[in-house]
Chain A
Amino acid sequence: MSKLGNLGARLHRGEISYDFVGKRKIWYGVSILITITAILGLAVRGLNMGIEFQGGAVFTTPVKMSTSVAQAEVFAKDASGHEAIVQKLGNGSLRIQIAGIDTGKSDQIKTKLAQDLKLNPEKLAADLVGPSWGEQIANKAWEGLGIFMVLVVIYLAIAFEWRMAIAALVALIHDITITTGIYALVGFEVTPGTVIGLLTILGYSLYDTVVVFDSLKEQTKDITKQTRFTYSDIANQSINGTLVRSINTTVVALLPVAGLLFIGGGFLGAGTLNDISLSLFVGLAAGAYSSIFIATPLVADLKEREPAMKALRKRVLAKRAQAAVGEDLADARGTAGDESDDNAPAVVGPRNQPVSRNRGRGRTSGKRR
């Protein structure tokens, strides 16, 4: 704790910092690589859509079945290789729904299933079912997503600035692409749960990015009035300053999801829980990564193209060059020149007066201003 607290303190004061912005080319490269993999996965393997999206076959058994729902699930999976939805109806018959089966395959599965269930295939009613999550729902979901993205860009452009809005959008698309790509690669079935997981990420990814941007906006308020830091330097300080928060929030959000994915999934094998938690897990991790490594460096990149920021960079570099010259002189005199870089208030030495007499003097302690 003490160590962690210290780390936080030193990050806060900028004593230690990692150069996130300076190494942005690496992060961009990593992201582009993952994104290409994801897109390839989507293109080659495609998404394995569940019965809710593409329909499938439904088999209805006669009444008075002794087979349990769990057994029937196993049989259906054996027969078809797909996850099946099995429900017991009021009259005791079973309704078995299997995704993605065309008529040709349906007969084969029906025969196999009837054999497993110890039924005469004649008695097993087979029919094709349409999607319950029809095209209209999907289209409306896309439409909603589009409208949301437009609005959020407008909102962020007003609340922050357009460069941040663009960067946030890029980070968001990055997260969604990676998550769907991993889905394609793993080959899990896409259920409504998956889609809902994806939409949850949408909000969370932006949430994370907005927190970092908020601190960035605050710290760059009077940036042109100083000549010590370039915009990239301050962006880097922002990331480092909010790093502890970013790590904590990601851990706290990921722990329950990891529980769902590894414990819940481990208990039951594949299932809806896994579908949802996988998309959440990958998406949350991607969201945390993109808020630090993609969104903020991208803002810095865009900002540095502004004439005002270019001029600032010139001034800063000129001053640093001057300082370097001055430092050489100072070193000759034997004082530490880099101390001047430290923004910390002057060190107040120990005092030997009683504490009570010392109150409210020197620095403000918040009681007397």
Chain B
Amino acid sequence: MAAPKKGRSASAQSKPGRSLALILIAIVALTAGMFASGHRTPRLGIDLAGGTSITLEAVNEPGQPNAINKTNMDTAVDIMNRRVNGLGVSEAEVQTQGDRNIIVNIPKGTNSEEARQQVGTTAKLYFRPVIQREATTGAATPTPSASPSGSASPGAGSASPSASGSAKAQDKVSGSSASPSAGATSQGRAVTDALKADASPSVSSSPKAAGSPSPAASGSADPSAAAAAKQYATLDCNDPKQRAVAGRNVKTGETTVACGKDGKVWSKFLLGPVDVSGTEIKKAQATLNTQGAGGWQVDMTFDSSGAKKFADVTAKLAQRTTPQNEFAIVLDDEVVSHPYVQTAITGGNAYISGSFTQKEAQSLANMLSYGALPLTFKEQSVTTVTAALGGEQLRAGLLAGAIGLALVVLYLVIYYRGLSLVAMASLLVSAILTYVIMSLLGPAIGFALNLPAVCGAIVAIGITADSFIVYFERIRDEIREGRTLRPAVERAWPRARRTILVSDFVSFLAAAVLFIVTVGKVQGFAFTLGLTTVLDVVVVFLFTKPLMTLLARRKFFADGHKWSGLDPKSLGAQPPLRRTRRPAGPAAGPADPKEA
């Protein structure tokens, strides 16, 4: 009798111990990470901590006197909002002020430099064919590039020659018929040796059309071509003044000049009319290419008209030789990259890879996704602002929350007695995990906490407590059926678990849908809700249940001590009970609960 019992409990014992160890290790690791990262508190939103306020003024463009109107301003607000709130959790606020200003408020602790670039950039993006280019440091000696061999993807990328042999990773443009995500990039593009400087000109493995290339500009009936060529001859891209005006206000159908940076060196470009415009990009995202040379890249998906144009252009360019087989990606009149094309890229997907850092790639993808601003803005002022609500609101909120929690604890103690220890320990674990994760998410994804989110977190604690109450009531029901504690704990779990999972799934569904669909503050809220829901499940599964299993072995609980909250007598359990020896009497009966 005793031996099998021991064996059974031993096998069950390893389990709760393991789960508890796991969650405790996780807490310790996360907390250590929090202290190590130096972000010991969650970042607070503007309403609680203030931040930076940027005022932008719309600038009249020549030839467009009526561009600054309410519609365009509202569109600009929307686009800026999405740019600064890429993930929707950073609590930045964008609003119009007067007829031509836009105020952008960014919470403390955000990189305001980066934000200023993000909101102020017009992000007009065009793909233009390269006619000529020249590095400003004397002769352009194109670095050779080996083209990928045996590539599986149609239109595999090849490295564009970059001038001056700088150690810049070269830009490639590639197409893929698959989705423009990691899948597309894993199609076995060979690692090229393109990064090695080599004096021989580029050799491409695909047969090129013979014959010398003719500049696109020659013979075209484009009146702007001659003017642009003249400009190109005298342009010095090392001069910031010249850079600033190069290619400004050129119509999309004209030939133009532009500057661009290859590594550390400025190059000048003579570019043909726009083939595809950034507005024809449906979606762009930054992905990490683990194949080939690796590094960050921007995947683009064109809409149907963009895809068709892009295919036509790349087919045309693939027939030419350097540099006319390149197209320049021009963002706000500056060439950000000029990859060369080997074969026509069909399917409407392409990616730009180059020497992007993660931030650059994400910021570019962000701008391409949300489109160009309809207006040009100039920064009017940048100033710090204090908290919109003042610290006393947060203090009062936290104090009130603490008092409310104390009441919750008091209630649990009165009602659940010994069991409330389990509840309190679980609540504590939840609270620590929530706090630590929120603190870590500040630097990780720009997560900022505003007052509504603080209140939401306090309410979430109540929802977490809900899960234990479901479980505790189940255990007590089992005890009322006449079971002893240990089987009651185990039998109650599967049923309680299902209830907890179904209900939490509903909460999580709400969080997921709102996070995907909405923008701005609602998205931030959805994130918080999703986080607390997941933590609720984690804590109940890895902490509350194992702890209960362990406690069920303690004499205090197992024997149903009066203060354990599991006293079968006070729960009105149905006899028989192992321990109780009732006095024989007519009154002793289950139908008469008075005697308990």
Contact = CB atoms under 8 A, between A and B. Distances in A.
B570 A268 contact: no
B396 interface: yes
A203 B578 contact: no
- Most central of B388, B408, B576, B591 by chain A CB within 10 Å: B576
Contacts of A249: 462, 465-466, 469-470
Nearest to A362: B576
B506 A5 contact: no
B444 interface: no
A111 interface: no
A88 B5 contact: no
Given A152-B509, A207-B466, A264-B399, A1 B486 contact: no
Contacts of B73: 130
Interface string A213-249: 0110010000000000000000000000110110011
A196 B384 contact: no
B458 A363 contact: no
- Most central of B47, B95, B486, B583 by chain A CB within 10 Å: B95
A129 interface: yes
The main secondary structure of chain A at its interface with chain B is helix
Interface in B551-596: 565, 567, 569-576, 578-579, 581-585, 588-591, 593, 596
A85 B580 CA distance: 66
Interface stretch (A23-31, A112-120, A140-148): A140-148
B495 to A, nearest CB: 7
B383 A144 contact: no
Contacts of B526: 144, 199
A252 interface: yes
B35 to A, nearest CB: 28
A268 B387 contact: no
A152 B510 contact: yes
A34 interface: no
Interface in A92-121: 95
A353 B569 CA distance: 21
A70 interface: yes
A141 B522 contact: yes
B393 interface: yes
The main secondary structure of chain B at its interface with chain A is helix
Contacts of B16: none
Contacts of A202: 510
A344 to B, nearest CB: 6
A263 B396 CA distance: 8
A136 to B, nearest CB: 5
A218 to B, nearest CB: 7
Interface stretch (A6-14, A35-43, A301-309, A319-327): A6-14
Interface stretch (A175-183, A270-278, A292-300): A270-278
A127 B98 contact: yes
Contacts of B466: 207, 211, 249, 252-253
B390 A70 contact: yes
B385 A140 contact: no
A173 interface: no
A355 B581 CA distance: 8
Given A1-B414, A87-B385, A91-B383, A350 B514 contact: no
A166 interface: no
Nearest to B394: A273
A55 B95 contact: yes
B404 A258 contact: yes
A58 B584 contact: no
A132 interface: yes
B293 interface: no
A299 to B, nearest CB: 16
B465 A155 contact: no
Interface string A253-292: 1111111100110011001110011001000100000000
A315 B326 CA distance: 84
A355 B576 CA distance: 11
Contacts of A263: 396, 399-400, 403-404
Interface in B306-349: none
- Most central of A86, A95, A130, A244 by chain B CB within 10 Å: A130
B401 A259 contact: yes
B46 to A, nearest CB: 8
Contact of A12 (B386, B477, B582, B589): B477
Nearest to B490: A366
Interface stretch (B184-192, B371-379, B448-456, B540-548): B448-456
A197 B455 contact: yes
A129 B103 contact: yes
A95 B388 CA distance: 10
B455 A192 contact: no
A150 B473 CA distance: 32
B261 interface: no
B239 interface: no
Given A134-B78, A196-B521, 20 more contacts: A8-B476, A9-B480, A55-B95, A69-B390, A89-B383, A134-B74, A141-B514, A141-B518, A155-B509, A196-B525, A197-B452, A207-B504, A207-B507, A211-B466, A256-B405, A256-B407, A256-B458, A260-B401, A273-B451, A350-B588
12 contacts: A6-B596, A9-B480, A132-B94, A134-B78, A141-B518, A206-B503, A249-B466, A252-B408, A255-B411, A257-B455, A259-B400, A263-B404
